Amino acid sequence: MLENEIPIGIGSIWNSFFHPYREYISIFIDSDKRNNGLGILLFNEMNTRYRPNKLQTAFDSDNIYAYKFALKCGFKLARRTYCFSVNKNMLVPFK
């Protein structure tokens, strides 16, 4: 997502070898651009264009902002994790 040709947000849909039959979605919006509907706009665009069978998301349960955003996007809480991390070697490009 660009504003005046400057990146202010990014989204990705990716697979995890832990759950190879699920598609994960991740969205990041620059902190000073949040709470203006941009994350929902990006989520809706990605969900419309690349809609897989079922989207899943993951984030640290202590991140109340991510939790509230996920609820706005229609996600339901499946389980909690308090030590969430993803390293780039775990991510496989979407084909």
pLDDT tens-digit profile of 9-44?
Answer: 988 888 777 777 778 888 889 989 989 999 999 888
The pTM is what? 0.67
Work out whether the CA dihedral 80, 59, 68, 78 comes out positive or negative. Answer: negative
Residues 6+ apart with CB under 8 A from 76: none
d(Cα 10, Cα 13) in Å, to the nearest integer? 11
For residue 82, what is the DSSP state? S
Work out whether the CA dihedral 69, 71, 73, 79 comes out positive or negative. Answer: positive
pLDDT at residue 94, rounded to an integer: 58
Phi-psi region of 3 (alpha: psi -120 to 50; beta: other; left: phi over 0): beta
